[in-house]
């Protein structure tokens, strides 16, 4: 499924700090809610990655499921990551939901871009 391919491209770009790839995968209207409750736009999220204030040291997605939603897709899954946030290492374990919608000019599979992300903390 194209949304699963897009999620893998997103995971690799996050892990590699590939701002250009993420710029192509994320909608300009992105609403990114972290498992901590912090909220980012596309601009603020990419700025954190570009500055190094947020860095993914390891990152895996598991139990991914894709749900059709009109022209787009909702993906749910589990994320395990080790991150550096403002120089402090932290283990993150969360459930997440992403919304992928077709947009013109999108670099994701079948023209998909991620419009929304919601993370919820969960036990390891």
Note the pLDDT of residue 106: 62
pLDDT at 110: 73
CATH number at residue 81: 3.10.450.50
For the chain of 124 residues, list the mean pLDDT of each consecutive stretch of 10: 90 97 96 96 98 97 95 96 94 96 74 95 80
C-alpha to C-alpha distance for 76 and 68, rounded to whole angstroms: 12
Q: What's the domain count of the chain?
A: 1
The reported pLDDT for the residue numbered 109 is 62
Please give the Cα distance from 17 to 84 (Å, whole number).
12
Three-state DSSP at 3 gives helix
* Residue ranges making up the domain that contains 29: 2-121
């Amino acid at each position: 499924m194209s949304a699963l391919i897009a999620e893998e491209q997103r995971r690799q770009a996050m892990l590699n700090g590939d701002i250009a790839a993420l710029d192509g995968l994320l909608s300009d209207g992105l609403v990114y809610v972290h498992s901590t409750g912090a909220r980012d736009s596309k601009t603020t999220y990419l700025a954190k990655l570009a500055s190094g204030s947020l860095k993914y040291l390891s990152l895996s997605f598991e139990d991914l499921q894709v749900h059709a939603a009109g022209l787009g897709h909702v993906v749910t899954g589990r994320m395990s990551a080790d991150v550096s946030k403002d120089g402090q290492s932290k283990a993150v374990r969360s459930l997440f939901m992403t919304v992928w919608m077709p947009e013109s000019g999108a670099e994701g599979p079948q023209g998909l871009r991620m419009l929304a992300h919601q993370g919820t903390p969960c036990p390891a």
